[in-house]
Chains A and B, each alone.
Chain A
Amino acid sequence: MIVAVAGGKGGVGKTTVSLNLGSGLDAVIVDGDLATTDLPTPHGPGIHDVLVGRVDPREAVERVGSVRLLAAGHAMEGARAADLQRFREAVSAIERAYGSVVIDCPAGLAQDVGVFLDTADVVVLVTTPNTAARVDAARTREIAVRLGTPISTIVVNKASDETATGERLDSLRTAVETELGAECIPIPFDPAVATAQEDGKPVVDVEPNSPAVDQFESIATRIKNSERRLS
């Protein structure tokens, strides 16, 4: 099962969702942000080495705390030489070896994101209540649909009871579900989520009682259910 975590806009919390979902699904998190990663950087070989064919993808997976990661780091030379066509093979090899993969997609909607969305079995769209973020999520959704990859869940990050746009949580959920055509799971704003992210850890490792933990668990459950439907 390969899950792409995407959203278009930067700063909406794609990496946070990837990290927590990777933990919940016991998946390998593959850092798709080959240029400007927010995930921990590799200690050994990273995805750049895999994409230029220097290293077997399975050997580049490392354990960072409680999660497994194929990290990118900031190796710009590697990013230039990286071959996106190899990405699909690398991710499939990791899926066969480890079971599940979560791809943390970069911001924007260039060909790298296209390849990641096409490689995935399902997409988790990430947005915030912000209109610009929702518009970008809708564009990402459109590309995923054209590539034939279904949207499993929409995560609305940094959602509070009364959101910045003045929408109440219920009407926000309804609006997002109508705009983006899949079930919406809001993640309440919680400083523990940001703190955990800064340490490169899922929130369950830092603050197991955070309300975000339950929400991330329900996203993982939804994906596991859709895996049963797809297989």
Chain B
Amino acid sequence: MVSIRTTTTRKREAEVTLVRATVTNSRSTTQTVTVRSRLDGPVWPPRRNGMIIPEWTEKTWTAEIAPGECRGFGFATPAEPLEEPIELVSASRSTDEQPTSRAVIASLEEWSPPGIVSSEEQ
């Protein structure tokens, strides 16, 4: 099964709630897991190089989790905390290889042809 553990901190003076969560996959196959914030307010997800990390789409977080592995994430929100800030939307065996291929290709060095081809190379 897929289990979620959360910790919530309310920063009163900043009027912001910080949510941290871990999602554990105890099944024997890789699972594509989607969870959603139950909090009554927008999700402010973390950014990397100014870009929202790819796991987040509005209030949902989707990631692949290998068997026996655990993944963590967090976000901020102006909403008041709840006892269960995160709910599981879906967990299913990962079958779609397309995003994985895209991710593998994206991890490679960017392709650009050289500006000048020397006569030796020709």
A109 to B113 alpha-carbon distance, docked (Å): 13
Is A35's CB within 8 Å of the partner chain B? yes
A-B residue pairs, 7 tightest by C-beta: A35-B113, A79-B113, A114-B105, A112-B111, A111-B111, A110-B109, A110-B111
Chain A residues, Cβ within 8 Å of B100: 146, 148
A109 to B121 alpha-carbon distance, docked (Å): 18
A35 to B106 alpha-carbon distance, docked (Å): 20
Identify which of residues 73-109 in chain B touch chain A, using a CB-to-CB cut-off of 8 Å: 97, 100-101, 104-106, 108-109
Q: Are B122 and A74 in contact (CB under 8 A)?
A: yes
Chain B residues, Cβ within 8 Å of A118: 101, 104-105
Interface 1/0s, chain A 115-129, versus B by CB < 8 A? Answer: 100100000000000
Some 16 contacts from A to B, beta carbons below 8 A apart, are A35-B114, A74-B122, A76-B117, A80-B112, A109-B109, A110-B108, A110-B110, A111-B105, A111-B108, A111-B109, A111-B110, A114-B108, A143-B104, A147-B105, A148-B100, A148-B101
Interface residue ranges, A against B (CB under 8 Å)? 34-36, 74, 76, 79-80, 82, 84, 108-115, 118, 143, 146-148
Is B115's CB within 8 Å of the partner chain A? yes
Query: In chain A, what residue has the closest Cβ to B102?
Result: A118
Chain B residues, Cβ within 8 Å of A36: 114, 117, 121-122
Chain A residues, Cβ within 8 Å of B108: 109-111, 113-114, 143
Number of contacts between A and B (CB, 8 Å)? Answer: 51
Chain A residues, Cβ within 8 Å of B111: 84, 110-112
Chain B nearest CB, measured from A6 CB (Å): 13
Interface residue ranges, B against A (CB under 8 Å)? 97, 100-101, 104-106, 108-117, 121-122
Which of A35, A80, A114 is close to B104, meaning CB atoms less than 8 Å apart?
A114
Query: In chain A, what residue has the closest Cβ to B115?
Result: A76
A76 to B115 alpha-carbon distance, docked (Å): 7
Chain A residues, Cβ within 8 Å of B106: 111
Chain A nearest CB, measured from B50 CB (Å): 22
Chain A nearest CB, measured from B113 CB (Å): 4
Which of A82, A110, A148 is close to B97, meaning CB atoms less than 8 Å apart?
A148
A84-B111, A147-B101, A148-B100 known; 7 new pairs, CB 8 Å cut-off, are A35-B117, A79-B113, A80-B113, A110-B108, A110-B111, A112-B111, A143-B108
The listed residue with most A CB atoms (<10 A of its CB), out of B97, B116, B117, is: B117
A109 to B108 alpha-carbon distance, docked (Å): 7
The listed residue with most A CB atoms (<10 A of its CB), out of B100, B101, B116, B121, is: B101
Using A34-B113, A35-B114, A76-B115 as known contacts, say yes or no to A115 and B105 having CB atoms under 8 A apart.
Answer: yes
Query: In chain B, what residue has the closest Cβ to A82?
Result: B113
